[in-house]
Amino acid sequence: MKVNIYYGGRGLMDDPTLFVINKMQEVLEELHVTVERFNLYELKNTITTLPQTLKEADGIIMATTVEWFGIGGYMQQFLDACWLYGDKEKISKIYMSPIVMSTTYGEREGKLALANAWEILGGLPCSGICGYIADTSIFEGNEGYHKIIEKKAENMYRTINQRLASLPASNQAVKKMVSITQNTDLTPQESEQLSKYASDDSYVRRQKEDIQELTSLFRDMMGSVEPEEGEQGEYVKEFEGHFTPQPGFKAIYKMQIEGKKKPFVIEVNGPECKCYYGNMNSCDVEIQMDKQTMDDIIFARMTFQRAFMGGAMKMKGDFKILRTLDQIFSFMEKSI
């Protein structure tokens, strides 16, 4: 006979649940039962694989401690894994004894929750233990408590050994009618990794950036570069056509227009003017505006200076060079 113990507490030295399962393990081993313990807090990264350990067990003990509310996260994860990945045919032949100690309140509810969960999984019920233990020192020298624990261990051994039957439970009937586990082709390890990555915001953000970079790379490789007359050519002809040179004037303007992937750069060198979309590390004036403001300037409804003074445009750099924009690009004069 083999019994597995799944401990869902945190492993604290004063955890009363540890005293109970240690005592039960001692009694079962005296009855020549093979006992294997799984501390879920030590196996938290591989909990999804633990249902595989049920295959060789005749009975199990689910032990946890109620420290503030409920059976705790580790035990809940283990039950979830049993529902998703456990062999339901094997589980239907395994007896489970719930052990729940409470240091606050709710030991009976915790014991009932474990029993109900196991029955919904299709497993067989076995008598368990629950109690409120504020201080583990009350176990020391208390033969009455020791006998209760020893008796429960003996009853579990007798139940498993004799394969005692139990009456049908309503939660098993409900399971057969409405509870269906979705089939998945993923292994428990793959499912765990998938859920971990999906909840990792930095991982998801990095994946989106990689996808955008690959999309741009393949588009360039296939020759699908945006044409000059398209988005990347917008405003180029308007600025070059309205350019009025100023003798000896040199400046570089970088305009970040809302909705454009790259900034609009204007390089003025005396009588020459070069306009294009691209990256420029150093510039004399850096401008930020939305597309509507740029259109208003192009169609002479507004000047660069008025846009800045009215708050429709932001700038960094030399304000005198900014004012020169309205002189070298005379949209207002040529629109009359």
Residue 144 lies in a domain: yes
112-116, 146-150, 224-228: the lowest-pLDDT one: 224-228
So what's the pLDDT on residue 118? Answer: 94
Across the chain, what does the average pLDDT equal? 85
pTM: 0.55
Per the structure, the complete domain to which residue 153 belongs is given by 2-178
Residue 83 lies in a domain: yes
So what's the pLDDT on residue 331? Answer: 78
The answer on pLDDT for 234 being more than 80 is yes
Give the CATH number, domain containing residue 168.
3.40.50.360
Residue 183 lies in a domain: no
- Residues 15 and 136 both lie in one domain: yes
The 3-state secondary structure of the chain, one letter per residue: CEEEEEECCCCCCCCHHHHHHHHHHHHHHHCCCEEEEEECCCCHHHHHHHHHHHHHCCEEEEEEEECCCCCCHHHHHHHHHHHHHCCHHHHCCCEEEEEEEECCCCHHHHHHHHHHHHHHCCCEECCCEEEECCCHHHHCCCHHHHHHHHHHHHHHHHHHHHCCCCCCCHHHHHHHHHCCCCCCCCCHHHHHHHHHHHCCHHHHHHHHHHHHHHHHHHHHHCCCCCCCCCHHHCCHHHHHHCECCCCCCEEEEEEEECCCCCCEEEEEECCEEEEEECCCCCCCEEEEECHHHHHHHHCCCCCHHHHHHCCCEEEEECHHHHHHHHHHECHHHHHC
pLDDT in tens, 279-290: 888 899 999 999
* pLDDT-based confidence at residue 318 (cuts at 50, 70, 90): confident
Question: Based on the structure, what is the number of domains in the chain?
Answer: 3
Q: Provide mean pLDDT across the span 185-189.
A: 57
* pLDDT-based confidence at residue 310 (cuts at 50, 70, 90): confident
- Residues 45 and 94 both lie in one domain: yes
pLDDT in tens, 209-229: 778 777 777 766 665 444 444
- Residues 237 and 213 both lie in one domain: no
In this structure, what is the dihedral angle of CA atoms 314, 315, 320, 321, given to the nearest 10 degrees?
Answer: -120
* pLDDT-based confidence at residue 136 (cuts at 50, 70, 90): confident
The answer on pLDDT for 272 being more than 60 is yes
So what's the pLDDT on residue 335? Answer: 47
So what's the pLDDT on residue 227? Answer: 43
Q: Provide mean pLDDT across the span 134-144.
A: 87
- Residues 94 and 210 both lie in one domain: no
So what's the pLDDT on residue 116? Answer: 93
pLDDT in tens, 28-57: 999 999 999 999 999 999 999 999 999 999
